Amino acid sequence: MTVDEFVKTKVAPEHRPVVAALRKLIREHAPKAREVMSYGLPMYYMNAVIAWISPSRSGIALTFQKGVYLEDRYGLLRNPSKHSKQFRMKTLADLNEPALKYYIKQAVKLDKA
């Protein structure tokens, strides 16, 4: 399954614009990241996984693999596990582009370190 097929079949129609915007932001701010399907989700790899997109009935999450190491000056990251943190959104209005750009750039720097 490709990422496009995943979006068409696994993401609720009302959340597809959010996923499209996230994919665009990641391409812009992590241009060397490879977008692949892994573990049933769209993941972004450089030297290692930097982030992935996961849909749910209530919205979309962009999870950062090394989220605990990200500076969270916007206070928008939530901690779903010991190491990762995620940014959750339901609509395009929830998509905080400056914050996401900031988090994505940090994730890229962590991957290079």
Whole-model pTM: value is: 0.93
Q: Which of 64-68, 76-80, 100-104 has the lowest mean pLDDT?
A: 76-80
Q: Which domain covers residue 67, as residue numbers? A: 3-112
Region for residue 34 given its phi and psi (left: phi exceeds 0; alpha: psi -120 to 50; beta: otherwise): beta
Number of domains in the chain: 1
E-strand ranges in 12-56 read 34-38, 41-45, 49-56
Question: Residue 83 is part of a domain; what is its CATH number?
Answer: 3.90.1150.200
pLDDT reported for residue 112: 86
Average confidence score pLDDT of the chain: 95
Q: How sure is the predictor about 62, in pLDDT bands with cuts at 50, 70 and 90?
A: very high
Length of the chain (residues): 113
Looking at residue 18, its pLDDT comes to: 96
Q: Any long-range contacts for 104-109 (C-beta under 8 Å, 24+ apart)?
A: 104/25, 104/26, 104/29, 104/30, 104/51, 105/29, 105/30, 106/69, 106/70, 106/71, 107/30, 107/50, 107/51, 107/64, 107/65, 107/66, 107/70, 108/29, 108/30, 108/32, 108/33, 108/46, 108/50
